[in-house]
Structure 1
Amino acid sequence: MKPLRFALLGGLLIATACTGHPSATTGPTTRGPTPIVTQVPTAGPAKATPQLLPGMPPPLSPTDVWAADRPGRFAASVRRDPVRIYVPNSGSNTVTEIDPRTYRVIRTFPTGRQPQHVVPSWDLRVLWVNNDLGNSLTPINPVTGLPGRAVAVHDPYNLYFTPDGKHAVVMASADQRLVFLDPHTMAVQKSVPVPCAGVNHADFAADGRTFVVSCEFSGQLLLVDTAAEKILQVLRLPQRRRMPAPMPQDVKLAPDGRFYYVADMMSNGVWLVTPQPFAVRAFVPTGKGAHGLYVTRDSRRLIVTNREEGSISLLDFATRRVVAKWRIPGGGSPDMGGVSPDGSVLWVTGRYNAVVYAIRLRDGRLLARITVGSGPHGLAVFPQPGRYSLGHTGVFR
């Protein structure tokens, strides 16, 4: 693989191959912004035309992986669930529930130590609170909003579900592992060590056969085989000129499945990464501290929270350019959240401000600033349209 040259064109940083340089091999580089790909040996040749992961619900559209997320397309199992905003307060060891119609807090209850995310289960019947330092998952009944008895799981920083619903996947950041679990009992099935530091976010390919994981503290991405539960490749993100080392955060697949968008908190924007071949293709600046990624209900735009500058950017999928940026009045720290079922409001935590913001997506107007506990992090809006959940704060397809 040849080194890449980066050029800024209309807000899009384009990567092109350089000539006259030696090919990259493995390990970090100290010369220029060269992404490094480490190939992990696999058995046998890859199929030319891969099929869907067995057991995965077929996509509703061949050109839009988010087609099931349109307003009103609720799964039958959640149509009677009350819409609530579930906020894990990492510094307070609590979860706060908000009524989005009145902007009022309904209840706050204790959890295990350092809850990081509230994650809808694959079948949409349980919300799991990831108590990272408490080494447990607290279940919430989405019908009543009440918590149940915690289940012991080690280092559950974040939680995902495979598209076939057969496995839960814990992002065990401190343990440096991907842990595959029974999606109902949370019993460990397989623990996979990772060659990077700080596994935290992920998203699955359109066919469900692979998924990409971000490694926050080593500036790397992993390409993982879903069925084989093994790492296929490791990609090191390039370091932008005069910028700190990359720190990738949230990952989101483009509607057509051609690119993954990867938020980078230190590079202040999003990388465009292709799954085949696994490589960096471009970079789009969005704002300081790019962190959370969300798709609008019409699949036209990507919402990017820029935590360190207190702003929200909208990136157009068709042009791959930022078409709007809104700053939170008085400043803020927008982190993780989700879109309202009708697509009109972005709900997002203010990580350093002990608040939750409700932001109108039509024009960026701040509708409410609601006081919650200390260090609010990965809130979940539930229910949302979609047939099943891939995890995190609500990745529905």
Structure 2
Amino acid sequence: MITRRAALGLPFALAATPAFADTGAPPPICMVMNSGDATISVIDMTTRQIIATQPTFREPSHWALTPDRQTLYVSDAGGNALFAFDPQTGAPKGHAPIADPYQLGYSPDAKYLVVNALRLNHVDVYDTASLALVKRFQAGKMPSHLDFSPDSRWCFSSQQESDTLFSFDMTTLTPRWTVPIGHTPAGVLWLNGKLIVCIMGENGIVEVDPVDGHITRRQKTGPGAHNVFLDSKNQILYVSNRAVGHTSLAALDPVTLEVKRVYPIDGGPDDIGIAPDGKIWIALRFNEEVAVMDPQTGDYETIQVGRSPHGIYLSTILSRQGRITAETI
């Protein structure tokens, strides 16, 4: 169902493959991870219709594209599994057991897959090729989001319940520092030689020096600032604000961090993706919906999906050059 609104301002078990219409190239798809339903909604981006619903075990949340772009991993923390999909069609390719994968990402040099185990309170480092566990860090409580320095030297992980940011050395796999960062940190993004970290309990973001972890700037974005995304042209920094009753998407200048526009959006914006036509696809965590918003007008339509939509992946991202992550869209 589609509704329209105006805004105010490793070895895998083989699985069955769904049938898609034989029209040559597969249609561009959006995959939405419904954390409350243990499903993934696959949406045809052209027709805005759901063309498949893929089951997971318990709680799908985030995604990571393998460096060769052949497999899309979706983490299922409660199910202790990684689910694999064809990144062009959404067809399932099986699953592999892995401990409590919540948020995850590949190091830029493609050597490691790093996983935040939010429920079990550790940060795990896996070998990319084999998915063998290489290192486990007991870094704090509720590891939430993570990112890397572009040279693959350092990794950074927010510890949501410890109110800290943790960093470790990717070359020696040893801890670097753990620093207080603010109440309930979440999204982490490397930007212009610094780190941007969302602080949900303080309604904004902080800029952090990656060398020693000290805060260099603060910026209010809206209640419950949760995750941060950089558009593909490096021109806009988006922050999803999802405090109950006050939900919005903020657009910032990525250099000055000045808030340029705030889009009020009902339903708790969480993760986003940007389509080639410029429309922003937004998972609405508190509603069973995905919003498709025109950033010029702020108007948006919604597509009904499963409960608690969380991560969102657009297959159109495959046409882009360079490294692809959920935060650099």
Q: Given the two structures, how large is their TM-score scaled by the length of structure 2?
A: 0.86
When residues 144 and 315 of structure 1 are mapped into structure 2, their CA distance, relative to the original with a 3 A threshold, is closer
The one-letter code of the counterpart of 1:371 is Q
1:253 pairs with one of 171, 183, 190: 190
Structure 1 gap segments, 5+ residues each: 1-79, 239-245
Indicate conservation of the 8 Å contact 2:198/2:225, yes or no.
Answer: yes
Aligned equivalent of 2:219: 284
What is the Cα deviation at residue 301 of structure 1? Answer: 1.8
Aligned to 2:17: none
**Paired letter, 1:350:** L
Distance 2:277 2:166 in 1: 31
Structure 2, gaps ≥5 residues long: 1-24
Q: Which residue of 1 aligns with 2:254?
A: 317
Question: Structure 1 pair 394/284, CA: closer, same or farther in 2 (3 Å)?
Answer: closer
Pick the structure with more strand per residue: 2
> Do 2:64 and 2:72's aligned partners in 1 also have CA atoms closer than 8 Å?
yes
* 1:9-44 CA-partner distances (Å, limit 9, x unpaired): xxxxxxxxxxxxxxxxxxxxxxxxxxxxxxxxxxxx
The aligned runs of 1:175-214 (5 Å cut-off) are 175-194=120-139, 196-214=140-158
Give the structure 1 partner of residue 242 of structure 2. Answer: 307
Deviation at 1:237, TM superposition (A): 1.6
Which runs of at least 4 in structure 1 moved beyond 4 Å after TM superposition? none
Distance 2:100 2:228 in 1: 23
From 232, 239, 245, the equivalent of 2:176 is 232
SS in 1 for 2:162: coil
The code of the aligned residue for 2:259 comes to V
Residues 274 and 104 of structure 1, relative CA distance in 2, 3 Å threshold: same
Q: Is the 8 A contact 1:96 1:373 kept in 2?
A: yes
Deviations 1:242-275 (A, max 9, x none): xxxx111111122x22x21111111111111111
Task: Tell me: CA distance 1:154–1:130, structure 2 relative to 1, closer, same or farther (3 Å).
Answer: same
1:343 deviates by 6.2
Aligned length, in residue pairs: 301
Shift of 1:327: 0.8
Q: How does 1:128-143 map to 2 (within 5 A)?
A: 128-143=73-88
Distance 1:180 1:213 in 2: 12
CA contact (8 A) 2:225 2:241 kept: yes
CA drift at 1:236: 0.2
User: Residue 151 of structure 1 contacts residue 186 of structure 1 at CA under 8 Å; is this kept in 2?
Assistant: no
1:163-193 CA distance string (max 9 Å, x none)? 1111111111122212111224422222222
Q: Please give the residue correspondences for 1:13-28 in structure 2 after superposition, counting only pairs within 5 Å.
A: none
Cα deviation, residue 82, structure 1 = 4.5
Partner residue of 1:295 out of 214, 219, 230: 230
Matched with 1:88 is: 33
Matched, 1:344 2:278: yes
Q: Distance in 2 between matches of 1:252 and 1:81?
A: 31
Structure 1 length normalisation: TM-score? 0.72
1:1-397 alignment, distance < 5 Å: 82-194=27-139, 196-238=140-182, 246-254=183-191, 256-257=192-193, 259-308=194-243, 309-328=246-265, 331-340=266-275, 342=276, 344-366=278-300, 368-384=301-317, 385-389=320-324, 391=325, 393=326, 395=328
* Mapped partners of 2:270, 2:236: distance in 1: 18
**In 1, distance between residues paired with 2:297 and 2:196?**
23
Q: What SS does the aligned partner of 1:266 have?
A: helix
Q: What does the per-residue CA deviation read over 1:119-147, in whole Å, with 9 as the maximum and x for residues that have no partner?
A: 22222211111111111111001233211
SS of aligned partner of 1:186: coil
In structure 2, the residue matched to 1:243 is: none
Q: Is contact 2:231–2:328 with CA below 8 Å preserved after alignment?
A: no
Change (3 A) 1:184 1:281: same
Distance 2:95 2:81 in 1: 6
Q: Work out which structure has the larger RCO, using CA pairs closer than 8 Å and 6 or more positions apart in sequence.
A: 1
Give aligned-pair identity as a percent: 29
For residues 209 and 137 of structure 1, what CA distance do their matches in structure 2 show? 25
Matched letter for residue 307 of structure 1: R
Question: Residues of 2 paired with 1:365 and 1:178: CA distance?
Answer: 39
Give CA deviations for 1:34-93 in whole Å, capped at 9, x if unaligned.
Answer: xxxxxxxxxxxxxxxxxxxxxxxxxxxxxxxxxxxxxxxxxxxxxx67431111111111
